[in-house]
Structure 1
Amino acid sequence: MSGPESATETPEPRDLGLMAQPTYCNLGEVRAGLLPSKACRPRTPGSLSSDSQPPPLPKKTLTRTKSLPTRGVPGARPAQPRRPLLASHSVDGCQGETGPDGPAAELTSGHDADGEDAATALGLRLHGPHGPEALHAALAARELQGLRAIHARLGARLTGGLPGPCGAGHSFRLLELAPCAESGDALYYRVVRAGDDAWHVLAAKVPKPGAGAEAPHAWGLELQACLPPHYNVQGLCGLLSEGALPGAPWPGRVLLAAEVPERTVAQWLAELRERRPEELAWAAAITLLQLSAALELLEARGAAVSELRPENLLLATPRGCAAAGPPRLLLADFGRVRPSPAGLPGAHAPQLGRLLLALLGPDRAPASALAAGLRRLAARLPRARPPAAGTRGALQALLWGPGPGLRARGAALGTWLRVRRALLLVQLAERAAGGAAPGLEEWLCCGYLASATEASLAQALELLWADPE
């Protein structure tokens, strides 16, 4: 038996792999050497005890468990890496079901344990009639389901908090004497409505008196009052009776709108031309995209706007979004809404083409591929006369793809759509991890990819890039 110096000596690194059996020492002997000597027991310097050496302990064989480290032990199996949780299947549960030889059997048989867990989480098995194709289809379905869920949650945040209709128990107060926004047909004032322990900021819509101005069409105003809520259509809360606001700078009754506008499309684009001209094409595409969504609702009701003008299209800050993002468009000029002519397809297409050119400004060399695509679309709309849904699909393709190169190569649109959905989910996850909240543009893109099909993509590419007649 060695002394305490040799017992506590650290072995060299090269000997770690050769220590198949642990080294023992007599702990009682070491303890006796550390205690002070007694007078009745003479001690010899240099020795631990004057007694004879105790017999060595019998050699024992230790059985290592899986909870102890096995590095450096010959013949030991390396520890299995911990896999992340997939759905309701935990790592411990999976390892417990495989048995003592389960992991080794997985390695020797060539099966991917992570792939098995992923397939099980998707309700599939890689054995039997199901194969990689079924797994890919299940992954694509899960990605589509995730995009739809994100789109629904963002929509609930962007459209939430609506004030609802006005009632008899509500009181009103005017915030400013000056209008907050002025369009071509109305002035808007901010009004606070209080009642039921809650208050909302509404907009009083005061028609602008003007000599020679076109009288609003009663049919369109009645249609606005009965339309279902739509993100890009001005919603009405009721009428503010005369005398409800003493000192109000308007006579008679006025309409109350749920969203408070801040400016018009004409004002916004004028600011972009001065400060950020490189964003002009993007702003025009986002604006026309939202307008097309509003016009779809009118076309479904057999209605059409007789004249679309930038000064009559309102913009408001989206709820729950940063002010730096794109604004929310509101179609508000229902005095120019009339029944759509029967048998005339694409009643809004020529107007949308002229409006798009007006938004882009004077014709000059395109600064970007998006600007060139928008000008091409503006030239195509009067000839092709697609419905508002077709125009919206073309604008979505210009903003988020696919581009003309995919159509020229004849690539599969379904494959592009699946890859694009997966990339969007990754981008949303990265932004969420960085603390950035998704906004209006992300919501619009989610809605596009969640509802797009191969047929709709093909129609958009045909409208955009077909050879001119």
Structure 2
Amino acid sequence: DPLPPLLPKKQLQRAESLPEPGPSHRCYGDPEPRAGSILYSIPLPQLRHGEGAPPQDRPSWAPKKPLAKSQSLGEPLTRSSPQKAPSPSLKELTFGTADGELGPLLENPGGVCGVVLGCQEASLARLSAHIQEELVGPEDRQQLLEAELAGKRWAALSVLDPQPCCQSGDAWYFRVGFTFEHSQLQFAAKVPKPCCSSLGVQSSLGTHCSIQRLLGHFTDRLPQELVLPGIPGKQSQGPSREDLACPAPQPVLQVILCAEVPQQTLAEFVKGSHALHRTSPGHYERLGCLLLLQLCMGLEHLRGQNMAQGDLCPENLLLVQCPCPPRSQQGQKEPLGLSLPRLLISSFFKVQGKQRACSSSQEQDWSQSLTAASPPSAAELNVGRLIYQILHVDIPLENILGFRSKTLPEIPLLSIYSAGLKRLATLLLHRDPHERVSIEQARGILQVLLWGPRQELFARRRKSLALLRGWLEVKRTLLLLRFAENTAGTGVSPGLEEWLCCQYFQGATEHTLYQVTQVLYA
């Protein structure tokens, strides 16, 4: 039989893939890369593996893993969206990355923008993690300290001051010392007031910059030299001759060891800042925005863990001095009241007290929302009231409830922040729960008040997602340049305000900005 005719061969078209990066070779005479040099490594030092820094067992200029996904030649690289986390390859890019590895990312001009934006996001994440570690301390060191303090009591601690360093609405705080790893540490011994204990809730909250951090706890007899002010009896009046001859035994109380030593409460700060508000309204109201922002971030953390704040009042919000600046900044101390302190939520329960008589069932519901810890609206109403208190505007409970006063008190327009704070307070205290903004929305409004976009951006331009996306990209670039210039020029290390700013530009998207500006500038 004749053989069938041969079929024509098909020409298979293979997609050309990006070349896999091979080992990079350093030419003779090239400078040896130095670890920690900004010319060769963008990631900040002291970052551990897993926080965006290159692995410790491989230098930043070593060959990276090949790209897992094949990319056809001529196909533009997908531009990374600001709200998405950068890919692992972008996280590992540094100034010292070999040119052979950069080449595939640069073959299409459209991909360069995506690479730059991804590197910016990764750099902001590393910088934010580094600043947070400077503020709250390394997590592994805290765990070692907690283990060392387990089972310790007053005998293992040295009382640095018999008088409380701070008295909040629910506790007294004493400065104590403890020797750990051949160094003397200072932290606070918190002695809860009668019927005020949140240990069961507080010990499971995790680490957050705006939440009081626990290191340990015990129950023991109070040392004889400690003084508890405000307690009726001989202790608060000073010892008599009989007491010195035969001292009465101190009470056995619960003690909670806290990592941060509070300087004062928010109530004391507001009370002592009338002159600052009058002479420097812009600076003071900016401080107020930053303190309120810390509070909202802490409340978000609590809600994320299905926890509720307790008696949210200025007397239970603590202010802690940030870590001391490096040696190059020691002579640049700001006057008292001008520097930004950390704000800590320390109360996670409701202190039972007398409630005023309510004239109606509806007013009673509102009153309970303001004082009880469980209703979801309690935080919003209390933060709204707190704005008035920070701005030194008296606002009785009746005015908040809106039953005896149709309008809220006027907030004087003293700075560029006044109108925005007034708008936020009105939205938080709205009588209709459906019109009331949430804590998450309040946090976004405060961030826009502090760092923009301001209303002038939309004066001659139609607000659009493209405009807001471009604004975000430019501001991220300028923020990183500012950090670099400050570090190189003045040696100023980023602090709490810079960390809050990083948090904003790390998580903001054009969509969230559109929603927030719609509410704020309505």
Q: TM-score, length-normalised on structure 2?
A: 0.60
Aligned to 1:109: none
Partners of 2:105 and 2:169 in 1: CA distance? 63
- 1:298 equivalent to 2:302? Answer yes
CA 1:121–1:377 in 2, change beyond 3 Å: closer, same or farther? farther
Aligned to 1:172: 157
- 1:206 equivalent to 2:257? Answer no
- The amino acid of 1:167's aligned partner reads A
CA 1:428–1:205 in 2, change beyond 3 Å: closer, same or farther? same
Counterparts in 2 of 1:26-425, with a 5 A limit? Answer: 122-124=102-104, 127=107, 130-131=108-109, 133-160=110-137, 162=142, 163-164=145-146, 166-168=149-151, 171-195=156-180, 197-208=182-193, 215-216=195-196, 220-243=198-221, 245-249=223-227, 251-253=251-253, 254-275=255-276, 277-278=280-281, 279-305=283-309, 307-321=311-325, 324=334, 325-336=339-350, 340-341=374-375, 344=376, 346-362=377-393, 363-383=410-430, 384-406=435-457, 409-411=462-464, 412-425=467-480
Q: Deviation string for 1:416-437 (max 9, x for gaps)?
A: 1000000101111111012111
Partners of 2:429 and 2:225 in 1: CA distance? 49
Whether contact under 8 Å (1:169, 1:195) holds in the other structure is no
Aligned to 1:430: 485
- Structure 1, gaps ≥5 residues long: 1-83, 90-116, 210-214
CA 1:270–1:246 in 2, change beyond 3 Å: closer, same or farther? closer
Please report how far the alpha carbon of residue 463 of structure 1 lies from its aligned counterpart in structure 2 after TM superposition.
Answer: 2.8
Aligned to 1:449: 505
Partners of 1:379 and 1:119 in 2: CA distance? 55
Please report how far the alpha carbon of residue 272 of structure 1 lies from its aligned counterpart in structure 2 after TM superposition.
Answer: 3.0
Partners of 1:405 and 1:381 in 2: CA distance? 25
Whether contact under 8 Å (2:132, 2:209) holds in the other structure is no
Partners of 2:309 and 2:180 in 1: CA distance? 36
Please report how far the alpha carbon of residue 153 of structure 1 lies from its aligned counterpart in structure 2 after TM superposition.
Answer: 1.0
Please report how far the alpha carbon of residue 195 of structure 1 lies from its aligned counterpart in structure 2 after TM superposition.
Answer: 4.9
Give the 3-state SS of the residue equivalent to 2:189 in structure 1.
strand
Partners of 2:41 and 2:346 in 1: CA distance? 48
Give the 3-state SS of the residue equivalent to 1:438 in structure 2.
coil
Q: How large is the Cα RMSD of the aligned pairs?
A: 2.9
Query: Which shifted more, 380-389 or 291-300?
Result: 380-389
Whether contact under 8 Å (2:160, 2:175) holds in the other structure is yes
Whether contact under 8 Å (1:353, 1:378) holds in the other structure is yes
Partners of 2:392 and 2:478 in 1: CA distance? 33
Partners of 2:152 and 2:347 in 1: CA distance? 29
Give the 3-state SS of the residue equivalent to 2:179 in structure 1.
strand
- The amino acid of 1:368's aligned partner reads S
Whether contact under 8 Å (1:302, 1:340) holds in the other structure is no
CA 1:158–1:125 in 2, change beyond 3 Å: closer, same or farther? closer
Structure with the higher fraction of residues in helix conformation = 1
Whether contact under 8 Å (1:143, 1:421) holds in the other structure is yes
Q: TM-score, length-normalised on structure 1?
A: 0.66
Whether contact under 8 Å (2:308, 2:348) holds in the other structure is no
Aligned-pair identity in percent equals 35
Please report how far the alpha carbon of residue 228 of structure 1 lies from its aligned counterpart in structure 2 after TM superposition.
Answer: 0.7
Please report how far the alpha carbon of residue 249 of structure 1 lies from its aligned counterpart in structure 2 after TM superposition.
Answer: 3.1
| Bigger CA radius of gyration | 1
- The amino acid of 2:448's aligned partner reads A
Partners of 1:397 and 1:446 in 2: CA distance? 13
Q: Deviation string for 1:90-132 (max 9, x for gaps)?
A: xxxxxxxxxxxxxxxxxxxxxxxxxxx99977554655xx22x
Q: Deviation string for 1:344-384 (max 9, x for gaps)?
A: 5x542122111111111234531222121111111112333
Q: Deviation string for 1:48-100 (max 9, x for gaps)?
A: xxxxxxxxxxxxxxxxxxxxxxxxxxxxxxxxxxxx989999xxxxxxxxxxx
Please report how far the alpha carbon of residue 289 of structure 1 lies from its aligned counterpart in structure 2 after TM superposition.
Answer: 0.4
Partners of 2:284 and 2:508 in 1: CA distance? 26
Give the 3-state SS of the residue equivalent to 1:202 in structure 2.
strand
Partners of 1:118 and 1:373 in 2: CA distance? 48
